[in-house]
Structure 1
Amino acid sequence: MTNPENETPVFEMADHHWQSLGKSGAGHKHRYGHGAVVSGPFGQGGAARLAARGALRIGSGLVSIVCRADAVAEHAAQLNAIMVKPYADDAGFQDHLSAIKPQAICIGPNFGLSSASKTLLGQALTLGVPMCIDADAITLLSHTSNPLPEISNRQSVMTPHEGELRRFIPKAFEETSCRVTLAQRAAEKAGCVVLFKGPDTVIAGPDHAPVIVSSAPFQHSSWLATAGSGDVLAGFITGLLARGFDAFDAACIAANLHFRCAEAFGPGLIAEDLPEMLPKLLR
């Protein structure tokens, strides 16, 4: 099946995709990976909690929120199965993140745009762990002064909406309005998979031909226009990366399930509802 406008293939969930989401009765939690979600400052941790819930629901065996020490109470009051892993000060962030041995890291949801946040992002980028790079992290990577290190693991996914992508590849927007071309340009620059959000979500990678994950088959996808929806999508991707999914497959499956969750819940959807639709879909 192709998109009639530009002949880009449309991704559809096949039997093997559904089968890959299952778990073996012989498995244990460590087999399904540890996803770490880096939280923003005190009072701004809701986005990280939404992402963490998404990662846990999609099957990551362990999920932790990594936060500053002053945010522990905020997170602990609202989490049970998700662990809280505080670091004492910014100087110890990289060692702390490395020590908890995540198989995937999510960074960016309400992370902040301060110079301190930029330093922490730079440290995370050098760890060589697959990452979901979202929201504020994309904006920080777009800064041309004091550029950050390159993304060190190509099995990573960047998840921009249009405004974030404009900041990341501004010259490309002067040359084209084709969303597929823009996603490809971003993937080449980032050196990883790019999921360009929209009603027709475009997924491109430096080593993959682009595909579209379309909202058209899903009646209630417009209800995804709600605060925190993208944070949950980042969590879905992070959970799949932690489980060992290829980054391109993780982005495609997560985007499709995101639309399906909206359809399963229907009107009135808020971000907290999205992870809770996954059990129904997976059954």
Structure 2
Amino acid sequence: MNILLVSHSNKIAELQPYVDCIYELDKSNIRLWYTNFIDPQDLLNYLNNNSKVKYEYMLVMSTLFDTTMENLPYKFIIYDRIDGGQLSYNTRKFIKNKNVVGVIKNYVYNPLTLYNSPYYRKHAEKLYAANLIDEPQHKVDDIIDLADLKKIHSGYGFGAYSGLRHTIKNLVLDNVIDFDKLRKFNLHCCLGTHLQSTHDLYKHQEMALNIAKNIQKSYVKVGVTFLQYIRTMQDSYCVLSPWRKGEAAYRDYEALACGCILIKPNSSYIISTPN
């Protein structure tokens, strides 16, 4: 069985987990092919130049799936790499296409019917720390029927395959957690430099930082080096992990790997693999 991976990334190892998540396929009989492009016409050129190879499936990054592909005679699996349960714009637009047989995401809403509720429909744009900022309800104008919702499957979350693209493996995962260790900080809250953005999406993170600063023996920083970030986390009892554009973050798994208590908004309605 030939599967063509279509991505704008040039690291095929990063895409392998998505193939591993297609449980119904016989892994021993899969041969992976790979192409990366920016313009959809590049994909058409690739297919024309490799016409002798028959692809049973195309695994396509959601940001690249467009009208050029939807009418091609292939079975498509869209992989939606995003840090929350919400569907990306392209995935939501094309999931109803008859040639799209599956969608694999890092995180999936449970139950799937949440994708048709007003709050979750606009989740990506209106994630303000569980509505700390008042927003009107949004009409759901593109209901996804149950048959198409069942195309959505949870793939590996940030806690799996970390060795492929995350330096935490050598720094943390190979070490034994010492739960009896006296730690310097009560609370750890380090966020990225994106907080300099004025976009409303980040206001709840700024609020979290301001609250954390008032807690005794807290380590609150923006834009530290990764080594400093991990070492200070290992020396903290608790880690505060506010949402960003989605519910999940590498920080969640880093905190657990460092033996810290993880504090974050309720995210129990999303699932991943492993959950």
Q: Which entry has the higher C-alpha Rg, 1 or 2?
A: 2
Where relative contact order (Cα < 8 A, 6+ residues apart) is larger, the structure is 1
Quickly name the TM-score band, shorter chain normalised: 0.3 to 0.5
Which structure's residues are more often strand, by fraction? 2
TM-score (norm 1): 0.34
